[in-house]
Structure 1
Amino acid sequence: MVAFIANRRSSLQIAVFSRLLVFFLQLIANVAPDHKADAFNPDQHGAIGYEDWLVRSAVDGFHKWDAKYIIYISEHGSAYTESLFAFLVFKGLLAVSNKDLAKSSMWFVLSAFARSNGIINIGFIAYFGLCGMLLNYQANPKILTIVKWICKLLFLCLMPLLPFIVVNLHGYIVYCTHYLWKLSCLEAPKWCCDNPPSIYNHIQKNNWGLGLFEYYTLRKVPNFLLATPTVVICVYGTLVYMKIRSHEIVYLGLPFFITEKHKTDQLSLMYTTRNIFCYAVHTVFLVMFALLFMHVEVVTRMIMSSTPFPYWIAASLIFQDLHSSDVKISLFSFKHLNFKSKVVVLYFLSYLLLGTILHVNFLPWT
């Protein structure tokens, strides 16, 4: 208990320190003139009084790239952030790990309101619900038991779809019904007559230019390099997991198929000592979808706000080195890490420092 409290206090200190570091770093870096990026950059309203000017000046470094969209949207209706999305997703995943599917569904509903890709988390409810249903059936083999579980799962899986449906319905009512009341589909926006009509799909394709291999152009190569470290961490972690726990691929990670002979040894990376098959599959899906369909430079923040898997990989590498050397985690632990772990630590540090400076000055880093 004492160790837990100490680790929690240490984590809190690191969290506070890192945020203060980013704040002062953006404050200093923002002194340099902004790069003239080919990006959304609407005119801003003038400051209202000295206090408003002071606040704007203090946090202007954060007001670049996607923050421009977020602020603009918030001034004209609503807003979203990866930080809020990550909080809601991780709370949902924590509830799943505690076998509280109802609470996890609630958190995933809220995450889907923050970002549409929150609906992907339905897979966690379905998977862990299936595991619970089969284990429950083994203890109580009655058809009625299965029927109750299926009804419960269907309800909990459908709930996170509500935000997506509500947003599309709202868009349809605002932009389409006026024309369709006149039975004039030709005058209405094209997407209004799609089957089914979806303003989300329309915006993704026509405003963001998303689609299969749509982003694969020579001028986008630097953005692929930007996404490479996160992709490498996820791919490496997945391959290691598949090698050590290959039996789970055959049995889809269902716990009652796992036997004693499949246990891992003490030299294994920490995350491979647990059955996290569903998390690995989820991460692989996110990486593949992002690389094939999305603006690839957002892979890092999309992955890091959607799954704990890459954090488990990085933490397991560092823990293994320090544990084998019997060294406590501190700022002076770096020299005890092997090459692989040092690369991971340097990547995260460079992302924090270099990424903040580049982002603040409107250089390509999102």
Structure 2
Amino acid sequence: MVSSSKGAVPICAYSRSRIHKVIQYAVLSRVVALLLGAVSNAIVSDYDSSLSVILPVPASDFNSSVISALCGWFARSLAQVVVRWDAFYFVHIADAGYVYEQEHAFFPLLPLLMRMLSSSVLLPFVGAVGRPLALIVAGVIVSNVSFVLAAATLYILGVETMRNDKLAYIAALMYVIAPSNIFMSAVCTESLFALLVFLAMLFIGRCRYLLAAGCIAISGLCRSNGLVYAGFFVWNLVVRADIWRGCTPSSGSRLAAALARRALGALSLVGLSAAGFVAFEIYGRNRLCNTHADFADVLSKRPYCTSTWSTIYGFVQAEYWNVGFLRYYTLQQLPNFLLAAPMIGLSLAGLWTYLAYDPVRFATLGWIHRGRSLGAKPDTVDAVAAAYFDASLLPHMYLWALLLGVATTTMHVQVITRFFSSVPAVFWFAAHVVAKVAAQKEELASAQASRSKRWVSWVVVGYFVGYGLVGVVLFSNFFPPA
């Protein structure tokens, strides 16, 4: 038995066959994405040939073995698909460490794992194809294994959170065909980060708080937004309404003591969760502010060297990528807002659908609800689709709303599909739409009426599949957006 916000959830609640199917579909989707990328790369000329800088065409060597030649061809073909945009930085960091200031926008966990893998399991491969190619293969292995594990973890998280096996299964399948498709297989951090935060949320639901804090701390070595997920500790230990129900005024002193203990525990867990990000920041400051003699005069004047509250990551993002509040709101960025519009629209629809079911519950952090017990389902909708309205999803909705605000006001908005690949509520809402339309199709007697309802489901699934496949072709040939 494992603990959840509604009590114990037996392990037998999971369908082993469905876990196996999720894994199978996840593996299949990675194979299809990489093969499609390879085919499109072979047919279409690259928009940018920067890959040749780190992977020069080797000279002919008649003394090389057939195996080495085949390994080299395979690794080079793979690299031409997966080393684009941010991947260049990760490969360089894995190979040479942090050399340039702007590289501190990219966190060290993936490069570290790439280096470890190429120095151990892939060591024979290094001799056959060289260190850069071996590092790229290692990065692809890390990303794709992480993706498969993340899909399975999302399924289990969905079962424990929504207490509905079917909706959790559909959500995991929607994750498998996520719009950020190729980024989940490339030398990028999306899959690794998603795995870590999905595990963290799963452990929090089971009250395994130290394990969860460890996962979030490690995720802070992967992406900057890892610490945001530490808010689940505050929710579970302090805010959640059902843990305080039943307390009476006569137990005021005990209530205050319990609140203090829980608040202190939550604060400690948040502090532990920040360890990864803080450690990387300390490393960067020590390297750039104290030991980088080549640029000492310039770097010593950087705000992160002179102010405790300024971060290297924040400075680098603003200085080199013009990231900042409303900085992206210019006429020339309109095409990128149009590219992001489907995910923004999906997010607004998902948040509104959940809020409209019980606005009072949403506004009061779940303390007041409209006369129904927590987790009650509306009578007019199929129970599978209705699991989306469960009160246990409240913190996930607040997280989704927060990240939507950040993505649309501060970030390069076109990366929102990648950014939301680690937000479970995105896939739970997509599954809700698919499940709801399927239920209506069964209930409606008129086939014509059924067809009039099905377009919503087709739009969502079509967006996931279509955007993902187009993204594979664009990414593998170094075409924007990214």
Structure 2, unaligned runs of 5 or more: 1-11, 59-67, 98-107, 112-187, 444-449
Q: Please tell me the residue identity of whatever aligns with 2:421.
A: M
Structure 1 Cα separation of the partners of residues 275 and 57 of structure 2: 38
Q: Does 1:29 align with 2:40?
A: yes
Aligned residues: 354
1:301 aligned to 408, 411, 418, which one? 418
1:323 aligned to 433, 439, 444, which one? 439
Structure 1, unaligned runs of 5 or more: 328-333
Structure 2 Cα separation of the partners of residues 40 and 292 of structure 1: 31
Q: State the match for 2:402 in structure 1.
A: 285
**SS of aligned partner of 1:114:** coil
Q: How does 1:7-46 map to 2 (within 5 A)?
A: 7-37=18-48, 43-46=53-56
Contact 1:92/1:103 (8 A) holds in 2: yes
Q: How does 1:1-366 map to 2 (within 5 A)?
A: 4-37=15-48, 43-46=53-56, 50=69, 51-77=71-97, 78=108, 79=111, 81-131=189-239, 135=243, 138=246, 141=251, 142=254, 143-178=256-291, 188-191=300-303, 192-254=305-367, 259-260=371-372, 263-268=376-381, 269-270=385-386, 271-305=388-422, 307-326=423-442, 338-366=454-482
**Cα RMSD (Å) of the superposition?**
3.0
**SS of aligned partner of 2:321:** coil
Q: State the match for 2:102 in structure 1.
A: none
* 1:65 Cα deviation from its structure 2 partner: 1.9
Structure 2 Cα separation of the partners of residues 31 and 203 of structure 1: 35
Alignment CA distance shift 1:158-1:258 (3 Å): farther
Contact 1:32/1:361 (8 A) holds in 2: no
Structure 2 Cα separation of the partners of residues 185 and 26 of structure 1: 45
Alignment CA distance shift 1:342-1:282 (3 Å): same
Alignment CA distance shift 1:76-1:337 (3 Å): farther
Instruction: Provide the identity percentage.
Output: 24
Contact 2:340/2:415 (8 A) holds in 1: yes
Per-residue CA deviation, residues 163-199 of structure 1 (Å, 9 max, x unaligned), is: 221111111111213599xxx9887242211343421
Q: Please tell me the residue identity of whatever aligns with 2:212.
A: S
Q: State the match for 2:164 in structure 1.
A: none
Which segment is superposed worse, 15-24 or 334-343? 334-343
Q: Please tell me the residue identity of whatever aligns with 1:9.
A: H
Per-residue CA deviation, residues 207-252 of structure 1 (Å, 9 max, x unaligned), is: 1211112112222222111111111111001011111021212321
Q: Please tell me the residue identity of whatever aligns with 1:85.
A: F
Which segment is superposed worse, 8-17 or 86-95? 8-17
Structure 2 Cα separation of the partners of residues 2 and 283 of structure 1: 27
Alignment CA distance shift 1:45-1:23 (3 Å): closer
Structure 2 Cα separation of the partners of residues 200 and 167 of structure 1: 10
**SS of aligned partner of 1:267:** coil
* 1:352 Cα deviation from its structure 2 partner: 2.4
Give the TM-score taking structure 1 as reference length: 0.86
Contact 2:203/2:212 (8 A) holds in 1: yes
* 1:12 Cα deviation from its structure 2 partner: 2.4
Contact 1:40/1:65 (8 A) holds in 2: no
* 1:21 Cα deviation from its structure 2 partner: 0.9
Structure 2 Cα separation of the partners of residues 134 and 317 of structure 1: 28
Alignment CA distance shift 1:252-1:173 (3 Å): same
Q: Please tell me the residue identity of whatever aligns with 1:323.
A: A
